[in-house]
């Protein structure tokens, strides 16, 4: 009986829920098996470690994985326990490792792919460090791509050697120590790790630098050294690293790689790395090169496959990498096998070709209802926007920071102008650069620019990928903007950066005050909005104003309309009012000042059915049913 059969016979179902399947691979800790949740059918990976192991690490890794889960690029833990003679951990099934994919791509990554890899690796390691741990075994085998729809997300795995570097409560850093044995993989370990210095955050980052140069060059200068013992070999590797300058290591490649390594080698033991700066090194190069960050890596493309030069490594928690018969050395894979393990490349796929791992929908930005209403002059032959008919009314679209003076009649024009009493918008230039980068790398997303805010929309994106990029964007903005006078918020499929000084209530007051100083006060004021952020308009509106909440939810407004159709009907009533003939003449100083409307400037996606809704007048604005409080 084989070991695989023995394991399956002994364990049967792990946790009485997970049915073991074929063996996927092996590692220093034990073996990895394919498994299925018998209740849901979900495919998973099971790690098994003998309870008699000299240095058991699996249950420690499971505990740490539980501590980390919930972030992009961290596998979910489904179960862990001791069963029979094994420590057991059930986790997400992932795809192949970066080492495997490097072989798939004939041991050469394009600069575009390498920069996208660098960006995700830095996010993963920053997250791990933010949870008070360092990894201590950074290498291509420990970064896997996701499975299925998540195949463009890189996962960090294998936390058996991870170590806490600071106290979570006090944030006290572990003390500097020497004479430590080297932990990790010698090829990528930092020079200080070779020297026996206690590792800290800088060492993980230095190892990532060696990984990136490994992908650039295809190999590192200290590979292939021959020695009598492991200790002698480690010493030779250390000496080679010390004697190879960063400039020589990175010669012939973009200078950002040397800048990255020089920065990390200069860090002190307890220094907090500037992760945003390091990511910016690579993102700036990405933008200068004009790459399209569409989530498509080299392995997602369909080039003809050639045999890899080296055998790929075992897959920690990934898809099966099975031997190709007696002609293939154990542990190595044929191009066809590596291609078939990628998501979407099932048995029967075109031989020798890779199909896209996750082709994202590229969607044009949605039509923004309301543009016709705010145009300066309607195109000839087109139905003018409803605002064009609101004569004797001054209008301010608060969210768009636009205003329109009184219109006397259909032939007098209806010009909109920016209304912006606030000037602290220098931050918008920096925000725009960041959002443009994320728009290029997120198909279906688009940017909406306002006079006091910039909004990134991802409603038309692939849902999971959009949420993933939104989290990255929130983090990037938070670290890049610092103390700039703006606020970052995430709504329903949007990320918005707005001026701190611009509150809708303040804008309403400013508009009314401006009118009062230039002419007579408004005869009536209508304040209308549909969002929680509009409550400040209702609260700051002058006494006696009509305050109208559009849609459901608690509000401090006095009246409510159900949705866009009712709003349009209500505005038509105002537009259709029979005004005296004198209203078509210029207003004299003694004339009554026209009504003023303050409305949330967001554009509603109104269907044709809504647009053609019944134009019967509303008897009155219904009062709100909810308490007048937030």
Q: Token pair for residue 25?
A: 């691979």
| φ/ψ (deg, to 5) at 478 | -60, -40
CA distance 549 to 623: 9
Alpha carbons 84 and 20: distance in angstroms, whole number: 15
Query: Among residues 115, 116, 68, 108, which one has the least CA distance to residue 92?
Result: 68
Burial of 484 (0-12, 13-18, 19+ CB in 10 A): middle
Torsion of CA 306, 308, 313, 316, to 10 degrees: -20
Reference 150, options 226, 71, 239; nearest CA is 71
Residue located via tokens 């003390």: 175
The residues, any chain, with a CB within 8 Å of residue 44's CB and separated by 6 or more, are 18, 34, 35, 36, 37, 78, 90, 91, 92, 93
- Strands annotated E in 340-405: 393-397, 402-404
Rounded to the nearest 5°, which phi and psi values hold at 482? 55, -125
Q: Which of 92, 119, 137, 141 is catalytic?
A: 137
Cα 575 from chain centroid? 44
DSSP characters for 69-109?
Answer: TTSTT-PPEEEEEEETTEEEEEEE----BHHHHHHHTTT--
User: What distance in Å separates the CA atoms of residue 319 and residue 146, rounded to the nearest whole number?
Assistant: 10
The annotation status of 23 as a binding-site residue, yes or no, is: no
How many whole angstroms separate alpha carbon 15 and alpha carbon 12? 9
DSSP secondary structure letters along 195-232: HTPPP-HHHHHHHHHHHHHHHHHSS-TTTT---SSHHH
Q: Cα dist. 568→368, 385, 462, 602 in Å?
A: 16, 11, 32, 14
- Dist CA 144 CA 128 (whole Å): 16
For 25, which DSSP code?
E
Per the CB < 8 A criterion, the answer to whether 317 and 157 are in contact is: yes
Helices 111-130 and 275-288, packing angle to 10 deg? 160
Is 137 among the catalytic positions?
A: yes
What are the residue numbers of the active site? 137
* Binding site listing: 47
* Binding site listing for ATP: 47
């Amino acid at each position: 009986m084989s070991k695989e059969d023995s394991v399956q016979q002994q364990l049967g179902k792990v946790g009485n829920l997970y049915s073991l399947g074929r063996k996927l691979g092996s590692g220093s800790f034990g073996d990895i098996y394919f498994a299925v949740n018998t209740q849901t059918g979900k495919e998973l990976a099971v790690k098994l470690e003998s309870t008699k192991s000299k240095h058991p690490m699996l249950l420690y890794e499971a505990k740490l994985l539980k501590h980390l889960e919930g972030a992009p690029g961290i596998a979910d833990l489904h179960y862990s326990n001791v069963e029979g003679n094994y420590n057991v951990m059930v986790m997400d099934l992932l795809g192949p490792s970066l080492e495997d994919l490097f072989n798939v791509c004939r041991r050469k990554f394009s600069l575009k792919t390498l920069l996208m890899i660098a960006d995700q690796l830095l996010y993963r390691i920053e997250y791990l460090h933010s949870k008070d741990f360092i990894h201590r075994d950074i290498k291509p085998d420990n970064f896997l791509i996701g499975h299925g729809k998540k195949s463009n997300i890189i996962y960090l795995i294998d936390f058996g050697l991870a170590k806490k570097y600071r106290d979570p409560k006090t944030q006290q850093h572990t003390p500097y120590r020497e004479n430590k044995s080297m932990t990790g993989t010698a090829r990528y370990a930092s020079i200080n790790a070779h020297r026996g210095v206690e590792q800290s955050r800088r060492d993980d980052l230095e190892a990532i630098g060696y990984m990136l140069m490994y992908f650039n060059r295809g190999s590192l200068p200290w590979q292939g050294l021959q020695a009598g013992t492991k200790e002698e070999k480690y010493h030779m590797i250390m000496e080679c690293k010390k004697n190879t300058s960063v400039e020589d290591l990175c010669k012939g490649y973009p200078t950002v790689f040397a800048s990255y390594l020089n920065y990390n080698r200069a860090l002190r033991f307890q220094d907090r790395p500037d992760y945003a700066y390091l990511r910016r090194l690579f993102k700036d190069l990405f933008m200068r090169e004009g790459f399209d960050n569409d989530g498509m890596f080299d392995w997602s493309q369909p080039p003809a496959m050639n045999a890899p030069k080296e055998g790929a490594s075992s897959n920690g928690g990934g898809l099966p990498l099975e031997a190709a018969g007696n002609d293939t050395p154990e542990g190595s894979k044929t191009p066809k096998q590596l291609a078939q393990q990628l998501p979407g490349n099932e048995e029967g796929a075109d031989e020798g070709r890779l199909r896209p791992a996750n082709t994202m929908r590229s969607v044009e930005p949605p039509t923004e209802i309301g543009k016709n209403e705010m145009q300066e002059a309607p195109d000839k032959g087109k139905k003018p926007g409803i605002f064009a008919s609101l004569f004797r009314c001054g209008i301010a679209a608060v969210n768009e920071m636009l205003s329109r003076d009184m219109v006397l009649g259909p032939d007098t024009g209806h010009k909109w102008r920016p209304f912006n009493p606030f000037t602290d918008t220098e931050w918008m230039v920096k925000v725009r650069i960041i959002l443009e980068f994320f728009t290029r790398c997120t198909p279906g997303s688009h940017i909406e620019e306002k006079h006091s805010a910039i909004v990134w929309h991802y409603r038309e994106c692939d849902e999971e990928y959009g949420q993933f990029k939104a989290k990255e964007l929130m983090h990037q903005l938070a670290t890049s903007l610092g103390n700039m006078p703006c606020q970052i918020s995430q709504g329903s499929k949007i990320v918005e950066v707005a001026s701190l000084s611009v509150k809708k209530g303040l804008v309403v007051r400013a508009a009314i005050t401006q009118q009062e100083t230039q002419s007579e006060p408004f005869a009536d004021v209508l304040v209308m909005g549909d969002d929680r952020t509009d409550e400040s308009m209702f609260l700051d509106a002058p006494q006696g104003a009509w305050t109208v909440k559009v849609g459901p939810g608690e509000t401090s407004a006095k009246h409510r309309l159900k949705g866009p159709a009712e709003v349009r009907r209500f505005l038509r009533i105002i537009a259709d009012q029979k005004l005296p003939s004198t209203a078509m003449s210029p207003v004299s100083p003694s004339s009554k000042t026209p009504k003023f409307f303050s409305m949330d400037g967001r554009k509603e996606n109104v269907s044709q059915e809504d647009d053609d809704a019944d134009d019967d007048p509303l008897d009155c604005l219904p009062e709100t049913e909810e308490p007048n409080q937030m």
